[in-house]
Amino acid sequence: MPKERLKWMAAWMALALLVFGAIRYVPEVVTVSTSIDGRELPIYCVDTEKKQVALSFDVIQGNTKIQEILEILAAYKVKATFFVTGEWVESFPEEVKAVCAAGHDLGNYGDKHRDMVRLDNEGKTAELTGVQEKVRKLTGTDMELFRPPYGSYDNAVVHNAMENGYYTIQWSVDSLDWKDYGAEAIVETVCNHKNLGNGAIIRMHNGAKYTAEALKLILAALQEQGYEMVPVSELIYKENYHLDQEGRQIGN
């Protein structure tokens, strides 16, 4: 066989081995995308085949209902997520420790509950780190979930939260408990909501007049429908995901 042909065959064999090796070894790539057409979005809900939903509470008013809410959650063996402000943490440290000790998520709701869209980047960071430092000092835990006060956000708010190690969380089912229409109205709103389904994030408030009364009925109804209620931290994907235009988090 001519030497030139032998060289040609050897080169092709070497190339084939390189290609085969590349196919066999595909490094894991962690990809996260929160942008849709140039808009940065929070996580509103999660695309999942598991029949799970997350129950979340916005905590900014008083402490009179917290113990009752914790007792109801314990009775139904449900873990939830409590988004707390720095001012609330300062005012009610024992309640913060009780939430943490019960195994619930503590989420960041801004140090002074300010509209972060109106703040510069330094102000946004201060709102996040203010709560974080207070919670860490009290409980020794770090938070990773952030809910923008008033539900107000823009690209800069989501970017800043991400840079500070937070997943920005909204909700897909609003209980409207803050309207004080009564416990039955809250139950009806949640349990018959058009967005109630696998991966839904439900929003309630600790200080609303009928929340605790409605909570027992909601938990019973959702469990009867076969839903498992988990903290937001267990519902969401932490890596390898993207969001659709509705803020639904989808695993890659």
Please identify which of the residues 58, 105, 111, 174 carries the catalytic annotation.
Answer: 58
User: Catalytic annotation on 205?
Assistant: yes
Which residue type, as a one-letter code, is found at position 157? V
Residue 59 phi, psi (nearest 5): -115, 100
Under DSSP, the state recorded for 116 is G
User: Catalytic annotation on 104?
Assistant: no
Which residue type, as a one-letter code, is found at position 62? G
Determine the longest span between alpha carbons in the chain, in angstroms: 92
**Separation between Cα atoms, residue 170 and residue 40, nearest integer Å:** 13
Please identify which of the residues 104, 111, 174, 205 carries the catalytic annotation.
Answer: 205
Which run of H or of E encompasses 219?
Answer: helix 211-224
Query: Which burial class, exposed, middle or buried, applies to 147 when counting CB atoms under 10 A from its CB (0-12, 13-18, 19+)?
Result: buried
Q: At what angle do helices 121-139 and 155-163 cross, to 10 degrees?
A: 40
**Separation between Cα atoms, residue 157 and residue 118, nearest integer Å:** 10
Pinpoint the alpha helices (H) of 144-210.
155-163, 183-191
Task: Point out which residues pair with 107 in neighbouring strands.
Answer: 83
Nearest C-alpha neighbor of 152 from the set 110, 90, 203, 180: 110
Catalytic residues: 58, 205
